[in-house]
Amino acid sequence: MILNSFSFLVFFAIIFILFWKISKKYQWILLLLAGYYFYASWKPAYLGLILLTTLINYYCAIAIYRQAHRKRRYLLVALFLNLSALFIFKYFNFFSLTLNQVLKVNLPQFKFLLPLGISFYTLQVIGYLFDVYKGKIQPEKHLGFFALFVCFFPQLSAGPIERGGALLPQLKKQYSFDYVKVAGGLKLFTYGLFKKMVIADNLGIVVDRVFNSLPEYKGLSLVLVVFFYTWQIYMDFSGYTDMARGVGKMLGIELMENFNFPYFADSVRDFWKRWHISLTSWLRDYIYIPLGGNRHGWIKMLLSTILVFTVSGLWHGAGIHFVIWGTLNGIWMVGERIVQFRFGKVLRVPRILKIAYAYVMISIFWIFFRAVNLSDALYILRNSIMGIKNFIQPNYIWASLNQLFIFNRVEMIITFSLLIIVITGEFIRTKISLEGILSKQPAVARFVFFCIVAFLIIQLRNSDIKEFIYTRF
């Protein structure tokens, strides 16, 4: 069950009605049962995994707090068990295959379905353990509330990665119906659904077509499809976050913002302050700062940056192309810091050029992220600029577009219209929120707007329900 499926809409409608009808003291129990049902709908056998994760981290956190002289030992035990589960299900085959190729051994391969959200809830509980270890928060003594913290269903499959100090107090509150919050949550969910089903999934049709038949494409066709992918992944992931935050808000719970106009960043470093904020802040607080952060000189700081983003790449996927993607981001950020340090006072570049530079670099890095393997990524890099002198010739542009859209002009018009809408919308939202614009309009205009959004979702949705890109991680 995924957030953009009809089954989820039915599921949430039932949970929503029951949540606001039952006694307030039982609201958390309903949410806990809903989380377990949501998780089991992916693969029932893995329900035992999240239950075991919950019990281990619950008792280890309490032991860390109560037995100060042994807290390091309990922390290491919990980390080992959490990371072992993640390694077995997500990384074992990758490392096994690599060792088989390098050392010419014959280690086994396992056919595991990746447990839903394991990368996300593993980081969430590890962050919670570190916060308890450092004395930032006290451990949650109520097993039920802690279990809900681990499997709160809106953010279970792809975040945001919440902190115990922010989410646990909200889960323990008893809520009264708030029309303003519910309406705001419904709007947020609808925006996210539009991003996913209308924009991301339609762009994905063209992107998948090209990546599934790469040898057939060269030059401008590859440049365009990389451009499409940058917006596909942004709309897909931010759409999920909006939907998750919208569901949470309708239940009275505020989840953190995960995006802040990342394609208006003026550097790669700035991009990572705006993209997947919950992950970036997690990496900063629980890896970068413990490694020394900015406290132990330039060399260590730069090496720590590269290491953190290499880990980020590996977290995203068990593949060498993901590792390269993360490492490239880290190396480039190091380069930017060196340039800023040496030339920042004399280098004056218009912001629009900085934004263009950052977007181009991030787009190049996305190639490694989207490619099925390293060979495909290198193919795109080698062949994207082939025939670059023809990029301004109308006949060449038209031929490339026809190849991308297999001469389907309706699909072509819809795709570029959606891109114009989303890019224009992003620019406007940097100045004023969409909610702010709509709130100034008459009720009839707001009603018509949401009718149009609903109509576009129904008419332009993909016939096959597509999972969110980040649920694969």
Mean pLDDT for the chain overall: 90
User: Does 102 score more than 80 pLDDT?
Assistant: no
Q: What is the pLDDT of residue 261?
A: 94
- Residue of higher predicted confidence among 376 and 297: 376
Rounded to the nearest angstrom, the gap between the alpha carbon of residue 442 and the centroid of all alpha carbons in its chain is 35
Q: Is the pLDDT of residue 34 over 90?
A: yes
Distance between terminal CA atoms of the chain? 16
- Banded pLDDT at 132 (limits 50, 70, 90): very high
Q: Give φ, ψ of 407 to 5 degrees.
A: 60, 25
Give the residue carrying structure tokens 């620019």. 427
pLDDT of 411 over the 80 cut: yes
CA 324, CA 316: separation in Å to the nearest integer? Answer: 11
Residue 124: Cβ within 10 Å count? 26
Percent of the chain whose pLDDT exceeds 70 = 99
Neighbours of 280 (CB within 10 A): 20
Determine the pLDDT at residue 347: 74
Residue 123 pLDDT exceeds 90: yes
The reported pLDDT for the residue numbered 33 is 97
CB atoms within 10 A of CB 313: 23
DSSP character string of 124-171: HHHHHHHHHHTTSSPPP--HHHHHHHH--GGGTTT-----HHHHHHHH
pLDDT at residue 94 in the model: 80
Q: Would you say residue 433 has pLDDT above 80?
A: no
The predicted pLDDT at position 441 comes to 79
Question: How much is the pLDDT for 344?
Answer: 67
Identify the pLDDT of residue 72. 93
| Other CB atoms within 10 Å distance of the CB of residue 358 | 22
Q: Is the pLDDT of residue 463 over 80?
A: no
Which residues have a Cβ under 8 Å from the Cβ of 97 and sit 6 or more positions away?
Answer: 109
Better-scored residue on pLDDT, 178 or 446: 178
Q: At what angle do helices 118-133 and 164-172 cross, to 10 degrees?
A: 100
Predicted confidence (pLDDT) at residue 13 exceeds the cutoff of 90: yes
- pLDDT above 70 for 29: yes
pTM of the model: 0.93
- Judge if the upstream peptide bond of residue 160 is cis by omega within 30 degrees of 0: yes
pLDDT at 200: 93
- Phi first, then psi, for residue 219 (nearest 5°) are 65, -135
Which segment, 202-211, 409-418, 441-450, is predicted with the most confidence on average? Answer: 202-211
Separation in Å, CA 207 to CA 198, 228, 357, 371, 462:
15, 7, 23, 11, 14
- Averaged pLDDT for residues 185-197: 93
Q: Which two three-digit tokens encode residue 426?
A: 């992003």
**pLDDT category of residue 229 using cuts at 50, 70 and 90:** very high
Query: What's the mean pLDDT in 420-430?
Result: 88
115: left (phi over 0), alpha (psi -120 to 50) or beta: beta
Q: Give the CA radius of gyration of the chain.
A: 23
| 114 within 8 A of 318, measured Cβ to Cβ | no
* pLDDT higher than 90, residue 449: no
Average pLDDT of span 48-74: 94
* Amino acid code (one letter) for 325: W
The whole-number average pLDDT for the span 272-296 is: 91
- Is 207 in contact with 254 (CB distance < 8 Å)? no
Place of tokens 């949970």: 15
Arithmetic mean of pLDDT, 274-282: 96
Residue 345's pLDDT is 63
CB 163 within 8 A of CB 140: no
pLDDT, mean of residues 152-180? 93
Q: For residue 460, what pLDDT is reported?
A: 81
Q: What is the spatial distance between Cα 264 and Cα 355, in angstroms, rounded to a whole number?
A: 6
Which sequence positions are flagged as catalytic? Answer: 316
Tens digit of pLDDT for each residue in 291-327? 887 777 788 888 999 999 999 999 998 889 999 999 9
pLDDT value of position 409: 85
Which amino acid does the sequence have at 185? G
pLDDT of 285 higher than 90: yes
Angle at 257 between CA 254 and CA 261, to 5 degrees: 155
In single-letter form, the type of residue at position 176 comes to S
- Pair 148, 112: CB distance under 8 Å: no
Least confident of 83-92, 98-107, 236-245: 98-107
DSSP 45-63: GGHHHHHHHHHHHHHHHHH
